[in-house]
Structure 1
């Protein structure tokens, strides 16, 4: 099985600018294109820079959450501040999290890689814990040796 850890995390809040993903949840190519288009837009229109300006750390959160039966996708930061551009304050619960670490050439490649490993390999093979919903996030933590590094955080419960 792929390298992963289970870590206890305190509750935390992410302020996000988001979009509704309209593709079917099984249309991976459609979802990937919608996410890429969203990140291009939020980067070019200055939304991401505004979020970074109020962040309590340097992490960028790539959040997926089901809200009112809609698939939502957010660019976010950890902060107690608010912004008029922000569309949601996302509450992550205190508890155990599946953590998958990774490195890739770009933020998008890292997010796609750790998401794929977590949902495509670790969770389907997990015998003693499960994801039961709630927001999940890949966390872009920084750069080293020319690569972007970060983690996927998914709240889980013991079976």
Structure 2
């Protein structure tokens, strides 16, 4: 059974990532790479982390590799880090868009109540989507705090703002 809730959550996550990225593109380009004492050394490192973790969960959902295939996970992280670290925000956004489309295709055609074992953790597909969304929300909050440390405003990306914007 397809889960409308999972699609709605994933659409929110995609909207929030795009909203943040569009906001960052309006700021001085060097800002995203400025070193800052925070959870990650820069805003861009935080964006990369969100993307790499999203990619990893997508790979597990689509069974590109298994959760105990640590060598595949390590090599994927290394490859993605190399691919992404030199990108500008526009090109990074294109990679995010491709991943979002793949996620949407998965969520809209898969039984989201199906349970899968990840190492020893049993999760429904819908729970994985919830985790991906929560993870992104947490780190978008980190980026907002980092922006404030750098004397710039953040942009609202919470779920209620998404719902409000979606009504327009």
TM-score w.r.t. the length of structure 1 is 0.31
Structure with higher Rg: it is: 2
Would you tell me which structure has more strand in proportion to its own residues?
Answer: 1
TM-score w.r.t. the length of structure 2 is 0.30
